[in-house]
Amino acid sequence: MASVPFTATTRDATGKGVARKLRAAGQVPAIIYGHNREPQTLALEAHPLQLLLEKHPYQSTVIALSVGGKSVNTLIREIQRHPYKKQILHVDFQELVAGEKVTVPVPLQFVGTPEGVRHGGGILDQVLHELEVSCDPANIPHHLVVDVTALTIGHSIHAGEIPMPAGVTLESDADATVCVCAAPKVEVEAAPAAEAAPAEPELIRKAKADEAAEK
């Protein structure tokens, strides 16, 4: 899998005050850690970072992080975001080591139209949208293909049935339901309301005084 280049700068100062100043200047505080290396604090340009995250599924994208003229392959392991603003507060990078497997979530790509949808009016319910796999960083797939063409009504596809590329091992529960072809929803017509019985004519009795006057 090709890596995505990105540039970071080192920083020595740490703390909440420093982080606030970085964000005010259009930067994002970050850290890189990994096997046999001391954690190193970094600063990232916020706008290019936002564009990268919008374009790539960051959890399964290898990022060639350039720090001080040296490039290392990394994965973004955690992103802290503001609770209600569209702002990234902090990013954690993990340096990757060749030959050392990593566990990452990989998006699912559904292809085909289920038989139960084509001929039975069924509905495809996509329960999961990604699966966790382990592999060498160089073999992280862009996505996993789920072929739903033969799926009939009432049947489902489980994680263990999805073919894995060479060198990739499924880490998610093999029995987890990925998708199911559900029966079409039948709208039950409301029973017509019972017709109201015709009202009997009201008998208005005259007062006794009126009756006496008529005699």
What pLDDT digit, counting tens, does each position of 105-122 carry? 999 999 999 999 999 999
Indicate whether 59 and 125 sit together in one domain: no
In a domain, 137, yes or no: yes
Q: How many domains does the chain have?
A: 2
- H helices of the chain, in order, are 16-24, 46-55, 115-120, 208-214
Going by pLDDT thresholds of 50, 70 and 90, the confidence category of residue 212 is very low
Indicate whether 55 and 135 sit together in one domain: no
In a domain, 206, yes or no: no
Task: Give the domain-ending residue among 53, 78, 96.
Answer: 96
CATH number for the domain spanning 88: value is 2.40.240.10
- Radius of gyration from C-alpha coordinates of the chain: 32
In a domain, 35, yes or no: yes
Which residue range is the domain that position 44 belongs to? 4-96
Is the torsion defined by CA of 39, 40, 45, 48 positive or negative?
A: negative
Is residue 39 within 8 A of residue 32, CB to CB? The reply is yes
Indicate whether 13 and 85 sit together in one domain: yes
Going by pLDDT thresholds of 50, 70 and 90, the confidence category of residue 69 is confident
CATH number for the domain spanning 153: value is 2.170.120.20
Task: Give the domain-ending residue among 67, 96, 125.
Answer: 96
Q: What pTM did the predictor assign?
A: 0.74
In a domain, 209, yes or no: no
